[in-house]
Structure 1
Amino acid sequence: MEAGPLLRQALSPANLLTAWNRVAANRGMAGVDGETIDGIAPQVHGVLDEIAAGVWAGSYRPAALRRVWMARPGKPPRGLAVPTVRDRILQTAVTLALTPPVEAELEDQMLQPLCPHCRHAMLWQGKPPPTATEAFWVF
């Protein structure tokens, strides 16, 4: 498999370990495979190696999602789709690798107000809201 720098970064042992630490800190439930955080913890380095090897070989396939219904008082139950712990580790590792360059690329293009009615966007940027007679141009 041809690997670019972002994939190499996502699958680096240090990044996968950081991803594991974040997933473990969330203490989420097991997915369809029944594998829990506590079950993976003793062999975490081997699991991280398996995830990376599967992606590099092109054989990694995410598992089906576990459907869970959460009861809510006075409301209908809410459906949740729970990925496996292994899939959450890989998702987190990819997010850790992609977020900094994407944010850097988009930093200059953050929420430009398009009209006087976009007051919430202006407030988010720390600018005073426009008056009714002001017009805004986006270049």
Structure 2
Amino acid sequence: MAHSSDSPALDLPLPARRHQTLGLVILRRLAAHGLQDARASLLALDAAGTDFRRLLVLARALVLDLSRSSRRKILLAPCCAAGMTRDEGLLMTLVGGAGLDVHAALTDDARCPVAMGSAHALGKELERIAIRNGWKL
């Protein structure tokens, strides 16, 4: 049964940078529709071109690592939502290179930073795509 606290409140604005918003939408789609979501694949293909597989593998790894290591439910908004939940804000901060404190806040587990490696690798890949495409960082 859903509780009122399970509703994703959109407390935060979307990320200001295009590559961060791309990463958020891909993560939302993979988490909501499964790791083989075709629209997430098309978003990656559109943004990364022939290197789209690397982006997808890293995003899938992060979703899988979080689902296996988190001790709590991570609340995500629908793919087209105009804001971010608090959990999505923490997730994007982790993708941006944050440390154990953010990982612990997101997963309630500071001892097992499994998702940090995949989150940081995804962040670097999104930055590489942004530079390649001429998007402002």
Superposed pair shares fold, TM > 0.5? no
Report which of the two has the higher share of helix: 2
Higher relative contact order (CA 8 A, sep 6+): 2
Instruction: Normalising by structure 1, report the TM-score.
Output: 0.28
